[in-house]
Structure 1
Amino acid sequence: MKQDLRVKKTKKAIRHALLRLVDEKTFARISVSDICNEAEINRGTFYLHYTDKFDLLEKIQQELLDHLWLIVTTRMTEQINVLKDKPDKLKLFATELFHYLDQEAELFHMLLVNTVDPSFHQRLKGLIQKNMERLSHSHEDPATLHADYIMAYVTSAIVGMLQHWLTTGRSLPPEQMAQLVVKINLNGPMKMMSGE
């Protein structure tokens, strides 16, 4: 138990060190030594947990995505089965998404705004798409619906909203952001812009 707590504390210190360094310089210019100095640990301790800075970054990303998928599947499954309307299902998903982003704002800011690894955008879009397909249960012919273009539009829009929300200091609460996502998806952006 004590060792697990010590490991968690060390990993947290390493992550916070990376976050502080990314604010000062690009990820490419950050070395393992920089991270160790900032976290006040020795290199041996770092290498107990990560092979290099890229492994650290990959593990951070995978943990965020795994936790997000756990939220939208495990925590939402019972609630989704009760909800009949797609707007309610979308709002529930969007609320959970924004709450988790709010909780891990610094890490998501590093990945979505500072774009330390551009591939994270695609991985997040893939997760959103997978969940939306799960929620829609569409039996229509995807070729007829041009579902791939629609999904690309929606996932890009959601990730764009996440980026803007993080960039502007998360000025709106998660619930309000979720409501906005639902309104835009139901009414379309042009109708929302014109105030109809």
Structure 2
Amino acid sequence: MNTKGNQRAVETENRIKYVFLNLLKEKDISRISVSEICKRAEIHRTTFYVHYKDVTDLMEHLVTEMYRQVVGLFVEEGKGMRPGGFRHLFELIQKHRAFFCTYMDALGKMDLTYDRLPAELKDNIDRIMPVMGYASREELLYHQTFFTEGLSAVIRRWIRRGCQESPEEMERIVVAEYRPNRKLFQ
């Protein structure tokens, strides 16, 4: 039986995602149909519907997976912050540029909950807040919102410009902007 989680189901999901990501390189998400995905993935429509409700649901699943993967670039479960997270993020974006164009569009239309923190941050919030200079959890959430929106804008600009700068250069730019010791308003 082809139930979610077994090897055949996983392979089918991966084929659907692969076809979908390739279609995103060719056209806007609004012009991609379930029929077209099924034809290229060589599966029946009913098989598609076992995994996803529609194309939007497929995109939402990919966005969720991508969010987990992006958080994993910065935070290693049980070990804290990983070095080089921004460089890895920009390498990932460069590799999957078509997806990230659509992803960033979808992100702009989604109701994001900035009150959600990565598990590693949430587990250590009482220890992290004073070290980072935040007086309350709410202040940290405002900071997270500000940083996330700013980084999203930088990523959109980089993608619009065709990812001209290297991932290393983009990491340097973001890290330079994020230095807490910058005296911007003096």
Superposed CA deviations along residues 45-103 of structure 1, whole A, max 9, x for unmatched, are 2123223323312211111112222332227936x4xxxxxxxx7x7332232233234
Distance 1:127 1:100 in 2: 21
Q: 1:64 to 1:106 in 2, by over 3 A?
A: same
Query: Are the aligned partners of 1:125 and 1:159 in contact in 2 as well (CA < 8 Å)?
Result: no
Q: Quote how far apart the aligned CAs of 1:160 are.
A: 0.8
Q: Quote how far apart the aligned CAs of 1:153 are.
A: 2.7
Taking CA–CA contacts closer than 8 Å with sequence separation of 6 or more, which of the two structures ends up with the larger relative contact order? 1
Match of 2:92 among 77, 89, 100: 100
Match of 1:122 among 102, 105, 112: 112
| Match status 1:32 vs 2:34 | yes
* Structure 1 match to 2:150: 157
Distance 2:90 2:122 in 1: 15
Q: What TM-score, normalized by structure 2, do the two folds share?
A: 0.67
Q: How many residues align?
A: 173
- The percent of aligned pairs where both chains have the same amino acid is 23
Structure with greater proportional helix content: 1
Instruction: Supply the RMSD in Å over aligned alpha carbons.
Output: 3.9
Unmatched segments (≥5 aa) in structure 1: 81-88, 192-196
Q: Quote how far apart the aligned CAs of 1:161 are.
A: 0.9
Aligned AA (1:180): I
Q: 1:124 to 1:40 in 2, by over 3 A?
A: farther
Distance 2:88 2:115 in 1: 16
Q: Quote how far apart the aligned CAs of 1:173 are.
A: 1.8
Q: What TM-score, normalized by structure 1, do the two folds share?
A: 0.64
Match of 1:180 among 159, 173, 183: 173
* Structure 2 match to 1:48: 50
Unmatched segments (≥5 aa) in structure 2: 1-5
Query: Are the aligned partners of 2:73 and 2:85 in contact in 1 as well (CA < 8 Å)?
Result: no
* Structure 2 match to 1:141: 135
Q: 1:182 to 1:70 in 2, by over 3 A?
A: closer
